[in-house]
Amino acid sequence: MKRNLWMILCILVLISAIAPAAAGEEPVETSTFLSVTSPKQYEMVWSDLVPPEVTVVGRAEASNGIRDVVVESSVGKVSCGNATNFSCTVPVAEGNETITVTLIDSLGKTSEAALHVYVNVDIPPPPWISVIGTVRDADGRPVPGATVRFESALPLAWGPHPVTTGTADDGGYLIANAFGYGQNISVEKEGYLPLHREVVFENTTNRLDLELEPEPPQARIAPGFSAGMGILALAGGLLAAHGARRER
């Protein structure tokens, strides 16, 4: 009997020693962060591949470490690995598509982000671009009142899509909504030689400064007097002189 009491007492002592320690342990808090930067929610995405594909880019963080980032569509699933910054390509279906990105931490806790996009299977169109700049002369002085014209270098079904603006007092200009990276550019101003350039831009927002050369003095024609009129006047003078000689 004494032996059983002694064993029970030992067990109670052990339980009392363990219980406070267990009660003092606080649960470990876990935190996760998941952000998809591309594509955007409800964005139209383009793919010229068959079957089409979409590249998903984002950032994942987990306090317990990342086990995996999984990207899934209606037609496929891929693993993006366990890096903080992820980028991977997933097969998708044409039309309305839902892409789900799942972050799995090292303890198995998950976080999800769902994207609704529209997949267009075709060559993506060129973007609309904007260009700012200043038109100056050869001495660096601003040229106000110049006409700046941008035309798309692409063979478009509806035409070259020209965009025209004028320079301000400081020579500055702004071209907005020019179609495509390739542009045929012209600048005209009375007293200056016309400027024609073809430029291929790399960004949707750009800066391009332009320079005009003054028109040579001999090329300037008095108002109302064209080169054709000058030739006719010269020919008339020669005929008159020839007739006068015959009369003599």
Per-residue model confidence as pLDDT tens digits over 158-182: 677 899 999 999 999 999 999 999 9
Among the listed residues 97, 103, 116, the one whose alpha carbon sits nearest the alpha carbon of residue 40: 116
Alpha-carbon gap, residue 65 to 24, rounded angstroms: 25
Encode pLDDT of 29-44 as tens digits: 679 999 999 999 999 9
Domain boundary among 121, 150, 175: 121
What pLDDT sits at residue 218?
73
- Alpha-carbon distance of 124 to 49, in angstroms, equals 11
Name the average pLDDT for the chain. Answer: 85
Residue-wise pLDDT tens digits, 118-143: 999 988 888 999 999 999 999 999 99
Quick one: 79 and 116 in the same domain? yes
Residue 241 placed within a domain: no
The rounded distance, in Å, linking the Cα atoms of 94 and 76 is: 13
Cβ atoms within 10 Å, residue 86: 22
| Amino acid identity at 72 | E
Answer yes or no: is pLDDT of 102 > 60: yes
3-state secondary structure of 84: coil
67 touches 108 (CB < 8 A): yes
pTM over 0.85: no
Q: Look at residue 239 in the predicted model and tell me its pLDDT.
A: 55
* CATH code assigned at 203: 2.60.40.1120
* Per-residue model confidence (pLDDT) at position 228: 53
Q: What are phi and psi of 184, to 5 degrees?
A: -90, 120
Helix (H, G, I), strand (E, B) or coil at 20: helix
Look at strands 77-79 and 66-72 and give their pairing: antiparallel
**Residue 21's pLDDT is what?**
46
Question: For residue 64, what are the domain limits?
Answer: 32-121
Looking at the structure, do residues 36 and 53 belong to the same domain, yes or no? yes
Statement to judge: residues 102 and 169 lie in one domain? no
